[in-house]
Copies of this chain bind each other. A is one copy, B any other.
Amino acid sequence: MTLPESKDLTHLFSDETRARKPSPLKTCIHLFNDPNIIFLGGGLPMSDYFPWDNLSVDSPIPPFTKGIGASIDSRNNDILKAELKKNEKLHDGDIPLARALQYGFSAGQPELMNFLREHTTIIHNMQYKDWDVVATTGNTNAWESTLRVFCNRGDVILAEAHSFSSSLAAAQAQGVITFPVPIDEHGIIPSKLAQILDNWTEGAPKPKLLYTIPTGQNPTGSSLSDERKEEIYEIAQKHDFIIIEDEPYYFLQVGRYIKDLGERAKLETDVRPTHEKFLQSLAKTFLSIDTEGRVIRMDSFSKVLAPGTRLGWITGSKRLLKAYISLHEMTIQAPAGFTQAMVSSTLNKWGQSGYLDWLICLRHEYLLKRNHAIDCLFKYIPDTSIFTINPPIAGMFFTVNIDASAHPEFKTKFDSDPTKVEQHIYDTVISNGVLVVPGIWFITDGETTPAQPKESKEISNPNIVFFRGTFAAVAPEKLENGIKRFADVLKKEFALN
């Protein structure tokens, strides 16, 4: 079957993108590697003067039989050494340092990008021909760049009613209005989204983008179901907006929480599924159902390798990616060469299969962490209708809803204002030695109305606030201790001792 070309959606570009002229110097930089041309064109220092050579780094070897958390020094023969030379390749996937540390390749170094293209075809069933990948310095920058690429001051975008505060703040600073879309435990509610758009004020500029974190959403921990993705994509086609899927937690899909330990043991024997089973278990992506190049996916190594790589990539139609490359040429130029070189060597030596092994092992770690966190929440937080524990099926975050009106001093000390209770609990948990963060930090419209994380009974109750915790950052005992401290504060505050 021949795949179609992407649709031309460049009418959604910002004024800035339209005005951006490609730097004339970039039109000739390819001549640097042309053997027939003596390059006196640009200020590229000779690699002779780069002070580094013989870079090497250890990583574990697939299939990671000792798991992924063990220290390198405890691994004996289970160590893979990536070695990088300045002027030669010891392995196909290596980027020689002389090139990695030079200017050029704004879209990313070929060895790394080829790995990512192959990875893309393994994970996503691409439905159009002219897609590609472009290297980024992670999703934070990729999102801020996305706003620059598409939005003018005063433009409107759609986002989950609670969303990642830094992403919302980036839009706000640029003068872009974020319009909240109601969500429940399965993410965006398509009927509500359709309703918003069908009733959009006539003449008002329509939203250009839908910003969504489909998997393990930040902060609610919810995950968007496959069926809803199809529905939302159709709405995007009808109302001509682009879907930005921000997927840092995509591979942390740990499945439904099972409280009963017996049942859990039965279902979770499959610690090491085959690659095929693993791939089948993953949620359908917006990218996989995109026939028009209407989806831009932002992937990051931050949550699966390390945040400090400051390395990620976007996938989308070449027509749209072009604008990112032009922007990058004036901003980041490209992710740092050391990072690209090291990640490329490691991943290419692991191979696609080894990288899947890594992701499978990592997911298993997060499964254990998620289970432990939710077990502890149920163990320590009193079983009362005041508190609702929301176990996620993916990602790093859990939330606990709290009925602020049940606080004994709600009407007196807190003037019947749930946000005052929320702030008080936040201050109190910190002074009791644990940090969880208040839902109010994540409200999309920026108003200080009470948090409504769920399209459920709570939505009609403005007194529900919530806190977001993560099971990512600390080891099991510490996690349990932290949750206990949090629960102790709740018990004391709500007089449940």
A interface residues (Cβ-Cβ under 8 A, vs B): 15-17, 19-21, 23-26, 28, 31-32, 36-60, 68-69, 71-73, 86, 100-103, 137-138, 140-141, 144, 153, 165-166, 169-170, 172-175, 218, 248-249, 302-303, 305-311, 329-339, 342, 346, 358, 362, 365, 395-397, 430, 433-437, 441, 469-475, 478-479, 481-483, 485-486
A102-B308 in contact given A40-B482, A51-B68, A72-B53 (Cβ < 8 Å): yes
Our pick among B330, B335, B337, B470 for the contact of A169 (Cβ within 8 Å) is B330
Q: Is the CB of A433 within 8 A of B38?
A: yes
A-B pairs with the 9 shortest C-beta distances? Answer: A308-B337, A38-B482, A101-B308, A101-B306, A41-B435, A53-B72, A336-B336, A40-B469, A50-B306
Assuming the contacts A101-B307, A330-B140, A334-B310, asked whether A346 and B51 have C-beta atoms less than 8 A apart, the reply is yes
Please state if B479 and A40 are interface contacts (CB–CB under 8 Å): yes
Q: What are 11 A-B pairs with beta-carbon distances under 8 A?
A: A31-B435, A40-B470, A40-B474, A43-B472, A46-B69, A51-B59, A51-B305, A51-B346, A71-B86, A101-B309, A307-B337
Q: Tell me whether A38 and B334 are in contact in the complex, defined as CB-CB below 8 angstroms, given that A50-B305, A71-B53 are known contacts.
A: no
CB of A316, distance to nearest CB on chain B (Å):
20
Contacting pair A338 B309 (CB below 8 A): yes
* Given A71-B53, A309-B101, CB of A329 within 8 Å of CB of B43: no
Nearest to A28 among chain B residues (CB) is: B435
Whether B72 pairs with A306 at a CB distance below 8 angstroms is no
Which residue of B59, B310, B471 is within 8 Å of A336 (Cβ)?
B310
By the criterion CB–CB under 8 Å, are A38 and B478 in contact?
yes
A469's nearest neighbour on chain B, judged by CB, is: B40
How many of these chains are in the complex? 2
CB-defined contacts of A49 to chain B, threshold 8 Å: 68-69, 306, 362, 365
How far apart are the CA atoms of A187 and B485 in the complex, in Å?
64
Give the chain B neighbours of A32 by CB distance below 8 A. Answer: 473
Q: Is the CB of A430 within 8 A of B31?
A: yes
- Are B169 and A45 closer than 8 Å at their CB atoms? no
**Chain B residues, Cβ within 8 Å of A336:** 137, 308-311, 335-336, 338-339
The reply to whether A434 and B37 contact each other, CB–CB distance below 8 Å, is: yes
Rounded to whole Å, the gap between the CB of A104 and the closest CB of chain B is 9
Closest residue on chain B to residue A143 by CB atoms? B330
Query: In the assembled complex, which residues on chain B have CB atoms less than 8 Å from the CB atom of A31?
Result: 430, 435
Q: Residues of B contacting A53 with CB < 8 Å?
A: 57-59, 71-73
